[in-house]
Amino acid sequence: MIKIWKQENRKMTEGDRSDAPIWVDARNVTREDIHALQADYGIDAETVMDILDPDELSRIEREDDYTLIIVRLPIFIATNEVSYFTIPLGIILFPDQIVTICWADCELLNDLTNNRVRGLSLNDLPAFVVRILARADLIFLRYLKEINRRSNAIELELQASVRNNELVQLLNLEKSLTYFTTSLKSNQLLFEKLMKTRLIQLDAEDRDWLEDVAIDNRQAIEMADIYSNILSGMMDAFASVISNNLSIVMKRLTVISLVLMIPTLITSFFGMNVDLPVGALKGHAAVLIIFCACVVSSMTAMFLLSDRKKNLKKRDPDRVRTLKKRNRAAE
């Protein structure tokens, strides 16, 4: 879908090709849109296909009639398995118009069309590009904070019960942070190239703004690295918790198996065709002995499987009170 926007009273409104300067907004690009971009604006089909490649990295190139800039943008789709990921946005800068190409809809383009970006002007197209880059960094930082909040919420759920669903959600958030880190580093190289070269004509104010954008981008890279390290440590910690819980369950099952062997062993003696010391008592002795064995086994199992904290309270109440005071002081 291709839309043409013009600016009236500092607000974006729909226009046509006769207006100048204009912004050509191409989203959810179809095959017909590719042919229209190639025929109406002279954009190479290969360039459009590079922009539509989901794995295309950020870069800037100078062509005969236009300047191509590809920047990675964050995107959020709640229905996807990995909700947060990045996509490329192609910015094609002409002398009197600017064309943006994206294979999906995203928050940044909606902010531009809904007039939520301050200082946006089509009369200064290089500054328009810088505003797009600045808005992309702002959305990156916002999504990173949302990822951190979601990971904290999942951590609280995991403390109550360790389930596969929460672990999969943490794994998907870790993937999102990896995508964000890779895209932010790619964008950083683009910003450095824009500041060092003269591929687009920026005045002193725009260059200062671009330096601020590069600083925000480095901050986003650091945040993504920190959140990724925290999430990796959290995943390792919960893996250790799961392993520890499994060891406790296996220990209890082993104790139960060993305890149940006692009445089984005694019962097996009375199934033999040999004389026993209490064989004269016949059936009553067998019932009595098996009953006593079951009672002893049950008490042994209760003792071995009882909670250590309860046993500690019974054996050493002063030590329990001391531990409680230490915990309160720590809090």
What's residue 244's pLDDT? 81
CA distance 78 to 304: 48
Q: Which two tokens stand for residue 186?
A: 């790619």
Structure tokens at 116: 């939520």
pLDDT given for residue 275 in this prediction: 63
Which amino acid is it at 185? K
CB atoms within 10 A of CB 256: 14
Torsions phi, psi of 307, nearest 5?
-70, 135
E runs forming strands in 67-173: 67-76, 84-93, 97-102
pLDDT of residue 330: 46
Residue 183, H or E segment: helix 164-196
Whole-number pLDDT of residue 315:
47
**pLDDT tens digits, the chain, 331 residues: what are they?**
888 888 888 788 888 877 778 888 899 888 888 888 888 888 888 888 888 888 899 999 888 888 899 999 999 988 888 899 999 999 999 888 899 999 888 889 888 888 888 878 888 888 889 999 999 999 999 999 999 999 888 888 776 665 677 778 888 899 999 999 999 999 999 999 988 888 888 888 888 888 999 999 999 999 999 999 988 888 887 777 778 878 888 887 887 787 777 777 766 766 666 665 655 555 566 667 667 777 777 777 677 666 544 554 444 555 545 555 555 554 4
DSSP string, 199-226: SS---HHHHHHHHHHHHHHHHHHHHHHH
The pLDDT of residue 254 is 82
One-letter amino acid at 181 equals T
Fold for 2-241, please state it.
Beta Polymerase; domain 2 (3.30.460)
> What CA–CA distance (Å, rounded) separates 145 from 330?
29
By the 8 A CB rule, do 90 and 73 touch?
no
For CATH 3.30.460.20, the residue range(s) in the chain are 2-241
The tokens for 314 are 């019974």
Integer angstrom CA distances of residue 329 from 240, 245, 312, 313, 323: 28, 29, 21, 20, 10
Distance from C-alpha of 228 to C-alpha of 102, rounded to nearest angstrom: 28
pLDDT (0 to 100) of residue 248? 81
Q: Is the CB of residue 163 less than 8 Å from the CB of residue 152?
A: no
